[in-house]
Homo-oligomer: A and B are copies of this chain.
Amino acid sequence: MSVRLNGSTVFTEHPVTVSAFSAIGGKKEGEGPYGDCFDYIDKDGFFGQKSFERAESAMQGLALQNALEKRGIEPSELPLLIGGDLLNQCVGTSFSAKDFGIPFLGIYGACSTMAEGLMIASLLVDGGGFDKAAAVTSSHFCTAERQYRFPLEYGGQRTPTSQWTATAAGALIVEKGDKPPFIRAVTVGKIEDMGIKDANNMGAAMAPAAYSTISNFMKDTGLMPRDFDYIVTGDLGNAGSRILCELFGRDGIDIEKNHADCGRMIFNQTAQDVHSGGSGCGCAASMLCGHFLREIRDGRLKDILFAATGALLSPTSSQQGMTIPGISHLVWISANHGEV
């Protein structure tokens, strides 16, 4: 076997492709600059359900159902589903996944969940015994506000560094194949903690994790930012993106020219009043499954690094005065499989 693991980066051995992908969004996401990229936009974010939590599960289920239909397979033909979300005990995903009857692995990576799921799915398809695997995740503005912040009716003021949890879901199916987009390598993130305690400034808490993981990938592979069309971070937002560029600047590396951040992309920042940008598992997932994967499949982009980021805090840890550990998982997605 060739050297597959170098540092914290694992190269795929076989051509592993994302054979289907789907993005679902809420009303506000549909009104954003990438609104046309979603496969379905709900009229009010309730997705026909009676509670916000059920709405999130329904939205996530729609994303998976849509990906299965695009691939032309039944749930029973899928041997593995990997998923998670921001809700306590990941119930958004459990209540969605239980209706599909697919063998299920629950994951938690906060807003890095889609990168984590895509990474595990790719490695298990590459050599772990599964012929196919799906990854799914979601977030919902109303479930996140209720759980992490204040009742919606309270109308709390938002700080300039705060981010707006996207109401969105993404689903994708990974298998061996000969058509792009291909998964070339993955870098598993380490938890980074620079001592940030402000739960309204998650971008600052996550930026060092993105810096660490992207740096590790470059060290492990010898590749540089210029080798990629985009280095896509999850949802650092404006504040976190600025910190990330500064951290690379100290190393004499300019990533600003080809850095894209899903949190800065998903909403129109002047017209949609989202302060530092979007966030939530569904933000990076829907920008990946609605936009980037399509661009690579259709030949408009050649190589991206998808480095989704997660803030591993809880309301309890914040109330106890703890810091906010950050993590970022990276997946190299390419139009070519090529040799490693």
Chain A contact residues, CB within 8 Å of chain B:
4-5, 8, 10-11, 13, 51, 53-54, 79-80, 84, 86-91, 94-95, 97-98, 101-110, 116, 119-120, 123-124, 126-131, 147, 187-193, 312-317, 320, 322, 325, 327, 329
Contact A190 B101 (CB under 8 A): yes
Write the chain B residue with the least CB distance to A96.
B191
Q: Which residues of B contact A102 (CB under 8 A)?
A: 190
Contact B108 A89 (CB under 8 A): yes
Contact A89 B314 (CB under 8 A): yes
Q: Which residues of B contact A329 (CB under 8 A)?
A: 105
Contact among B5, B13, B312 with A131 in the assembled complex (CB-CB below 8 Å): B5
Write the chain B residue with the least CB distance to A87.
B314
Check A130/B312 contact, CB under 8 A, given A108-B107, A327-B104: no
Contact A103 B8 (CB under 8 A): yes
Q: Which residues of B contact A51 (CB under 8 A)?
A: 320
In angstroms, Cα B124 to Cα A95, docked, is 27
In angstroms, Cα B80 to Cα A136, docked, is 22
Contact A316 B8 (CB under 8 A): no
Contact A103 B190 (CB under 8 A): yes
Q: Count the copies.
A: 2
In angstroms, Cα B53 to Cα A320, docked, is 9
Contact among B5, B128, B189, B193 with A104 in the assembled complex (CB-CB below 8 Å): B189
Q: Which residues of B contact A130 (CB under 8 A)?
A: 5, 10
Q: Which residues of B contact A116 (CB under 8 A)?
A: 105-106
7 example contacts (A-B, Cβ-Cβ < 8 A) are as follows A5-B79, A5-B130, A86-B89, A90-B312, A124-B124, A124-B128, A126-B129
A326 CB, min distance to chain B CBs, angstroms = 9
Check A189/B89 contact, CB under 8 A, given A84-B108, A316-B147: no
Contact among B86, B126, B192, B317 with A128 in the assembled complex (CB-CB below 8 Å): B126
In angstroms, Cα B8 to Cα A106, docked, is 16
Write the chain B residue with the least CB distance to A84.
B108
In angstroms, Cα B79 to Cα A50, docked, is 44
In angstroms, Cα B183 to Cα A129, docked, is 14
Contact among B106, B314, B316 with A312 in the assembled complex (CB-CB below 8 Å): B106
Contact B105 A107 (CB under 8 A): yes
Q: Which residues of B contact A5 (CB under 8 A)?
A: 79, 129-131
Which of A88, A126, A315, A322 is most buried by chain B, counting CB atoms within 10 A of its CB?
Answer: A88
Write the chain B residue with the least CB distance to A124.
B123
In angstroms, Cα B14 to Cα A127, docked, is 12
Contact among B98, B109, B129 with A127 in the assembled complex (CB-CB below 8 Å): B129
In angstroms, Cα B8 to Cα A340, docked, is 31
Q: Which residues of B contact A188 (CB under 8 A)?
A: 79-80, 103-105
Contact among B86, B91, B322 with A313 in the assembled complex (CB-CB below 8 Å): B91
